Each structure stands twice: as C-alpha cells, then as structure tokens.
Amino acid sequence: MDESYILQTLRVRVTNHHECSMMYKNVADKKNITSRQLCAGGVVGQDSCNGDSGGPLMAPFSFTSSPKYFIVGVVSFGTTICGNSKMPGVYTEVAHYMTWILIRYVVHVHDLQQNVEYLFTPTLSTEWFSLEFC
C-alpha cells in the first residue's frame, strides 16, 4: 500500500476475536491478541499502515437523527506488509481503558480550571476509520 499524505477514511468490519487470535498465532512473528484488543479489516488493499498507529477506530451510534461517532479502538499493529493480506488490523479496545482515561481527563480539566479563565470541551473532529458492525 502506498504512503499517503492525505487523511484517509475506511469502513472496516470487526473480526471475530478467536479467529483473529488464531490468524496471528500462525504468522511468522506469532503475535498474541489479548482480550483488550479487537481486530478489524482484513480486506486486501484496505488497512491501517505504518504511521497510522494511535489513530482512531470510530463507530457510529445513533441517539438522534444524525449519528455521533465514538472512538472504540486505537490503531495498534498489523502485518508487515500493509493491505497485502487478508489479515485484519489490531486495535487497542478503548472501553478497557475508560477508567484510566476518565481519571486523567478529570485531573486535566481540574488543572485547566485552576489555570485558565475558560474551559473547552474536546470534540471528535475527524473520522479516520469507521467501524461497521456485522
């Protein structure tokens, strides 16, 4: 897959955790997929790649007439050659770290309130990857 300097979006499907784990155990580097990770993708030519680590895997949730997107995963790793196999990408599952994230967010908000006159609320601004439920 060629490198891109333009922000890309891609719809990917979540892969069954057990199937993904077995796939990665059978590749040369034998990576272990933990319960705190999820797998998505696996379509040739469509994958996260080098430089995408830390990018969001987003899922739409429709609470109103227009869906809101939430981060459900963070790009972690994949195969050595991006998009050239049927191997899914591996993402850190954000739900497992929500307590840690919220504690740091509350501490950060408290620090902001102590040091500035206004408080801003961060919003999800870009949809790098989206998630399609099967």
Rg over alpha carbons for the chain, rounded to the nearest Å, is 17
* pLDDT value for 9: 85
pTM (predicted TM-score): 0.74
- Predicted confidence band of residue 91 (pLDDT cuts 50, 70, 90): very high
Instruction: Kindly report, residue by residue over 120-132, the tens digit of the pLDDT.
Output: 443 333 333 444 3
Alpha carbons within 13 angstroms on the beta-carbon side of residue 100 total 5
Instruction: Kindly report, residue by residue over 44-57, the tens digit of the pLDDT.
Output: 888 888 888 999 99
- Domains, in order of start, for the chain: 11-95+125-132 (2.40.10.10)
* pLDDT value for 90: 94
- Predicted confidence band of residue 113 (pLDDT cuts 50, 70, 90): low
* pLDDT value for 111: 62
DSSP 55-110: -EEEEEE-SSSS-EEEEEEEEEE--SSTTSSSPPEEEEEGGGGHHHHHHHHHHHHH
* pLDDT value for 3: 67
